[in-house]
Amino acid sequence: MSNLKIAVQKSGRLHNDSMNILKEVGISIDNGRDQLKAAANNFPLEVFYLRNGDIPQYLADGVVDAAIIGENVLIEKNQNLSVLEKLGFSGCRLSVALPKTAAYSGIQDLNGLRIATSYPNTVNAFLRKHQVNAQVHIINGSVEIAPNIGLAEAIVDIVSSGSTLFKNNLKEVAVLFKSEAVLVKSPKISTVQQEILDTLQFRLQSVLKARNARYVLLNAPNSQLTQIISILPGIKSPTILPLAKPGWSSLHSVINKNEFWEVIDELKKAGAEGILVCPIENMVI
């Protein structure tokens, strides 16, 4: 069998975005509900649907060749797996939180507390690093409830919008690290599977670059082009096409989607008109 075996979370926060990004790179998967694995019909790839927390071990053992998982789980399971690509979704952070009313002036204030978490290895490493003496209590879900039911004085859990902390009368006091979904590979991957993974990674990079970029089209008087080009330099340099109206041109360029809003006023001041901003599907540079 020369298919690349890739693990994806079976259900939960990572599942849909993981399947979407595979679809965006043109891979079509025969996806019967409740199947534990499914093959792609246009790419040498098989998807294994697994629990996020089990994936690092499967990678370490070479049961799967690659996976899409949260960085936080990789760190917790500490299997020395290397991250190939950050995928830009499921962004969150692992944080320490305390009851809103608790006094806190620094990490040393965690001394002597009971800390509830689903990430015991990560928390113990953090406590060791800061020479804090606290008791770690492992809870597998709904960690934020622990202080309210007298199980712990502090928690360490995933925070994204912060609304779960807020609803449970907790405050975030320290961030251990930030996490997002990542592409990871097994140290036991074979040469054939590695080649397939290289192709997949190349396609993912082109989709990720495109997600962050926008295609910009605008009209401007020729006298203003030099100034506008300095604002919108593009990948190599912008495309300039003459308009039917004498003395005017259409300028096409690519820009980072976040930078666009910063330069729009500059563009207008420089004389740009009829500015169109379009999404890009793929970028091969």
Ligand X SMILES: O=P(O)(O)OC[C@H]1O[C@H](OP(=O)(O)OP(=O)(O)O)[C@H](O)[C@@H]1O
- Residues of this chain that interact with ligand ATP (CB under 6 A) are 9, 12-14, 51-53, 70, 72-73, 90, 92, 158, 160, 179
Q: Is 6 in the site for ligand X (CB under 6 A)?
A: no
Q: Is 164 in the site for ligand X (CB under 6 A)?
A: yes
Buried b (16+ CB within 10 A) or exposed e, 89-108: bbebbbbbbbeeeeebeebe
Phi, psi of 83 (to 5 degrees): -80, 125
Closer residue to ligand X (CB): 88 or 162 = 162
**Which of ligand X, ligand ATP, none does residue 144 bind (CB under 5 to 8 Å by kind)?**
ligand X
**Which of ligand X, ligand ATP, none does residue 53 bind (CB under 5 to 8 Å by kind)?**
ligand ATP
Closest by CA to 157, choosing from 149, 148, 131, 170, is: 170
Q: Coil, strand, or helix at residue 55?
A: helix
Distance of CA 41 to the CA centre of its chain: 26
**Which of ligand ATP, ligand X, none does residue 46 bind (CB under 5 to 8 Å by kind)?**
none
Q: Is 15 in the site for ligand X (CB under 6 A)?
A: no
Tokens of 234: 């593009």
CA distance 108 to 92: 24
Closer residue to ligand X (CB): 121 or 230 = 121
**Which of ligand ATP, ligand X, none does residue 117 bind (CB under 5 to 8 Å by kind)?**
none
Stretch that binds ligand X, among 124-132, 156-164, 186-194, 222-230 (CB under 6 A): 156-164
Residue 140 CB, shortest distance to ligand X, in Å, is: 8
What are the beta bridge partners of residue 158? 94
Number of residues that bind ligand X (CB under 6 A): 12
CA torsion through residues 186, 206, 43, 2, sign: negative
**Which of ligand ATP, ligand X, none does residue 157 bind (CB under 5 to 8 Å by kind)?**
ligand X
Closer residue to ligand ATP (CB): 53 or 62 = 53
Taking CB under 6 A as the criterion, which residues in 87-146 touch ligand X?
141-142, 144
Residue 166 CB, shortest distance to ligand X, in Å, is: 8
Q: Is 16 in the site for ligand X (CB under 6 A)?
A: no
Closer residue to ligand ATP (CB): 7 or 218 = 7
Q: Coil, strand, or helix at residue 85?
A: strand
Tokens of 186: 């097994």
Packing angle of the helix pair 191-211, 15-24 (nearest 10 deg): 90
Distance of CA 116 to the CA centre of its chain: 26
Q: Is 162 in the site for ligand X (CB under 6 A)?
A: yes
CA torsion through residues 52, 57, 63, 68, sign: positive
**Type of residue at 56:** P
CB-based contacts of 35, cutoff 8 Å, min separation 6: 49
**Which of ligand ATP, ligand X, none does residue 163 bind (CB under 5 to 8 Å by kind)?**
ligand X
Q: Is 76 in the site for ligand X (CB under 6 A)?
A: no
Residue 138 CB, shortest distance to ligand X, in Å, is: 14
Residues that bind ligand X (CB under 6 A): 13, 141-142, 144, 157-164
